[in-house]
Amino acid sequence: MSSTLLLSKELPTLSYAPTGTRFDESWRAPLSTLLGLGRAAGADFVEFFLERDNYISCLAEDEAITSLSPRLSTGAGVRLFLGKQDCYVSTNDLSFSGLKASLEKALSILGLKLPGPAAFIPDINLEPLRDYGALRNKDSWLAQLSPMREMGDVLLEANGALQRKASHIQSRRSVYFRDWQEVLVAASDGVFARDVRLTQSVGSNLLCADGANRSSIGKRVGNTGGPDFLRTWSYEDLADEISEAAGKMLYADYVESGSYPVVMANAFGGVIFHEACGHLLETTQIERGTTPFIDKKGEKIAHENLTAWDEGLSDGAFGTLDMDDEGMPVQRTLLIENGILKNFISDRAGSVRTGHPRTGSGRRQSYGFAAASRMRNTYIASGEYSTADLFGSIERGIYCKKMGGGSVGATGQFNFGVDEAYLIENGELTKPLKGATLIGEATEIMQRISMSSNDLELAAGFCGSVSGSVYVTVGQPHIKVDSITVGGR
């Protein structure tokens, strides 16, 4: 057994038998020993991240299930810090010898090596296991999820609803996935925490065509709550929404390019703030020197009517967590208050290298990635105006009801397509428009968001960055941008 009197030469004689079916208290002894071994070798900080993942996706196209893709994985990663330097090594061998080999490899990367045979190995005093899986009654979720046949049946029913409600249909697609993950974090600062996560998403896409006219509209919803999400999905309401939008966009006029005042819809409209500003507030950007806000904390970076948050607490939202992937409980982080930059989004490495405090934002796609500063539920807060106030303030402009794909440069330059748009004339919506692209730069657009309505909504999204693809929430109320460049014909 591990103790404060353990010598390095005794490690090969140790025999650990942690539970193989779940990450529980039985992992304390081997991980404490390995953490102590890393510290004895000279590392300033050592962290182990263990993961088990059970994922499946299902795709229905028209009247057939065309793809059913399961994936199982188990693995671990070890991260070491030496001053401001760090390194990360991953493995799918969770035996004591496998984890020890990964630790030894990480030490060698930092120029360290295992201590000699007579060296004492300190026993890291880990906290009592913080088990969010047990505390939140999440351990039974995997067994309660929809089986594969039920997944397929629901998606085919959703495609049937599209068939009944839309016209000029060229194709119908509905897709569902669920991602169940169990994680355990143990670190040399005493962190010892376990969580079970369940992320689910379902949605439909409709492609319509009539001669040379085309329209494509889709929508996804996502949840991190209990196992009955797919069973309670209102695909009839979704079919009504996207069928109506596809019909309007099918014969819409092309937008004329120019500079316009714009009203952006709530919910997924917040993707522009996420991409063009949120990423610039992550400490990974500060480390690289690629954010224009690097030295702007406490200064005005947006219109005084704009307040924005990043948090992991909203019930059921796509970016909601009980703890981040470094074992830190999540929290609410005020990013911008009345236009003033208040905080950055920081993980452990970001805090070490930039000095900004950790915000429970260390996230990763899987054990194959080191955690990095990442957004969770990120949104512009509700304002004091009604949507009628926003539209009424515009003589001629564009309403961007549904955002599409886009791209963002390293320092906040962006362009985003608009899947569903309408002309605003004298405060009223007059005709549908297609082909619009919003073009701008974060530092400019943030100053032009002059009005926010009181109808905040959140929407599920996916975010790719240095630590892989993670589940996030974007969001906002309806907002007015005083002027933005709109690409069109």
For position 1, what pLDDT does the model report?
41
Same domain, 293 and 436: yes
Residue 187 within any structural domain of the chain: no
Nearest alpha-carbon partner for 405 in 452, 449, 464: 464
Q: Does any domain span residue 403?
A: yes
Q: Which of 135, 155, 171 is the last residue of a domain?
A: 135
Same domain, yes or no: 68 and 151: no
Q: Report yes or no on 189 lying in a domain.
A: no
What span, in angstroms and rounded, lies between the C-alpha atoms of 355 and 369?
23
Helix H, strand E, coil C: the string for the chain is CCCCCCEHHHHHHCCCCCCCCCCCHHHHHHHHHHHHHHHHCCCCEEEEEEEEEEEEEEEEECCEEEEEEEEEEEEEEEEEEECCEEEEEEECCCCHHHHHHHHHHHHHHCCCCCCCCCCECCCCCCCCCEEHHHHCCCCCHHHHCCCHHHHHHHHHHHHHHHHHHCCCEEEEEEEEEEEEEEEEEEECCCCEEEEEEEEEEEEEEEEEEECCEEEEEEEEEEECCCCCCHHHCCHHHHHHHHHHHHHHHHCCEECCCEEEEEEECCHHHHHHHHHHCHHHHEHHHHHHCCCCCCCCCCCECCCCCCCEEEECCCCCCCCCCCECCCCCECCEEEEEECCEECCCECCHHHHHHHCCCCCCCEECCCCCCCCEECCCEEEECCCCECHHHHHHCCCEEEEEEEEEEEEECCCCEEEEEEEEEEEEECCEEEEEEECCEEEEEHHHHHHHEEEEECCCEEEEEEEEECCEEEEEEEEECCEEEEEEEEECC
The total of structural domains in the chain comes to 3
215 with 83, same domain: the answer is no
Query: What is the predicted pLDDT for the residue at 440?
Result: 92
- Residues 386 and 406 placed together within one structural domain of the fold: yes
Indicate if 326 and 226 belong to the same structural domain.
no
Q: Do the domain assignments include residue 402? A: yes
Residue 409 has a pLDDT of 83
Q: Return the pLDDT at 427.
A: 97
Same domain, 267 and 356: yes
Q: Domain holding 242: CATH number?
A: 3.30.160.100
417 and 437 belong to one structural domain: yes
Residue 475 counted as domain residue = yes
Is the same domain home to 106 and 222? no
Is residue 23 a part of any domain in this protein? yes
The pLDDT, as a whole number, for residue 184 is 98
Which domain does 70 fall in, by range?
Answer: 8-135
Answer with the one of 210, 228, 251 that is the final residue of a domain.
Answer: 251
Together in a domain, 210 and 247: yes
The verdict on residue 321 lying in a domain is: yes
- Assigned domain for 3 exists: no
Q: What are the residue ranges in the chain where pLDDT is below 70?
A: 1-5
Pair (242, 269) in one structural domain: no
Residues 66 and 159 in one domain: no
User: Taking each helix axis from N to C terminus, what angle separates 235-250 and 148-165, rounded to the nearest 10 degrees?
Assistant: 40
132 contacts 138 by C-beta, under 8 angstroms: yes
Does residue 306 share a domain with residue 215? no
- For position 5, what pLDDT does the model report? 66
